[in-house]
């Protein structure tokens, strides 16, 4: 049994029945299984090592007055990630999934065509959602989106 398989087994033994399980995660693009990390752990690592995430260290999140303690978007994202993970632990949810989601809560990547070329656009966004419960399932009823940073590059380069 690999480390990944043991971790997946532990999820079924310890997480809430309502928690997402790594083994059940679906991907649009199939990937070879890793012997060490679950799909959610790989998602988290992919976000942390991405150029887009690393660029957040140069973006100011908030400051009150000149000379005050400056915070970067990266610091803020990491703090959100850790708070999310702590809440997930208390609720017996999947911590790796929640950490990945908390780290990338403000990132959206889109692929469009412009002038015959595929263009990938990375957006850092803030969502303000209203939810509705229908037949026991939660759905987004209204989403307000604010785009903070946008970066385009050719996918065919």
| 35 and 3 inside one domain | yes
| 74 and 110 inside one domain | no
Give residue 25's pLDDT.
92
| 66 and 33 inside one domain | yes
Boundary (domain end) residue, out of 87, 105, 123: 105
| 14 and 85 inside one domain | yes
Q: SS3 for the chain, per residue?
A: CCHHHHHHHHHHHHCCCCCCCHHHCCCCCCCCCCCCCCHHHHHHHHHHCCHHHHHHHHCEEECCCCCCCCEEHHHHHHHHHHHHHHHHHHHCCCHHHHHHHHHCCCEEEEEEEECCEEEEEEEEEEEEEEEEEECCEEEEEEEEEEEEEEEEEECCC
Give residue 129's pLDDT.
75
Q: Which domain holds residue 6?
A: 1-105
Give residue 28's pLDDT.
76
Give residue 141's pLDDT.
84
Give residue 49's pLDDT.
85
Give residue 107's pLDDT.
66
| 81 and 99 inside one domain | yes
Mean pLDDT by 10 residues, the chain (157 residues): 97 96 88 94 87 76 60 83 93 92 73 84 72 86 71 72
| 120 and 150 inside one domain | yes
State the Cα–Cα distance between residues 39 and 26, nearest whole angstrom: 9
| 56 and 122 inside one domain | no
Domain count, the chain: 2
| 54 and 101 inside one domain | yes
| 76 and 132 inside one domain | no
| 41 and 13 inside one domain | yes
Give residue 66's pLDDT.
60
| 45 and 14 inside one domain | yes
| 46 and 78 inside one domain | yes
């Amino acid at each position: 049994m690999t480390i990944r398989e043991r971790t997946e087994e532990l999820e079924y033994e310890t997480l809430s029945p309502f928690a997402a399980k790594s083994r059940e995660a679906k991907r649009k693009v199939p990937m070879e299984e890793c012997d060490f990390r679950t799909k959610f752990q790989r998602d988290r690592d992919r976000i942390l090592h991405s150029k887009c995430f690393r660029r957040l260290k140069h973006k100011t999140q908030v400051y009150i007055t000149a000379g005050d303690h400056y915070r970067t978007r990266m610091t803020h994202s990491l703090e959100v990630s850790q708070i999310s993970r702590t809440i997930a632990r208390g609720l017996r949810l999947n911590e790796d999934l929640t950490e990945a989601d908390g780290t990338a809560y403000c990132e959206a990547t889109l692929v469009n065509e412009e002038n015959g070329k595929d263009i990938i656009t990375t957006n850092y966004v803030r969502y303000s959602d209203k939810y509705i419960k229908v037949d026991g399932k939660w759905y987004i009823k209204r989403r307000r989106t604010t785009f903070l940073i946008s970066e385009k590059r050719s996918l065919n380069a």
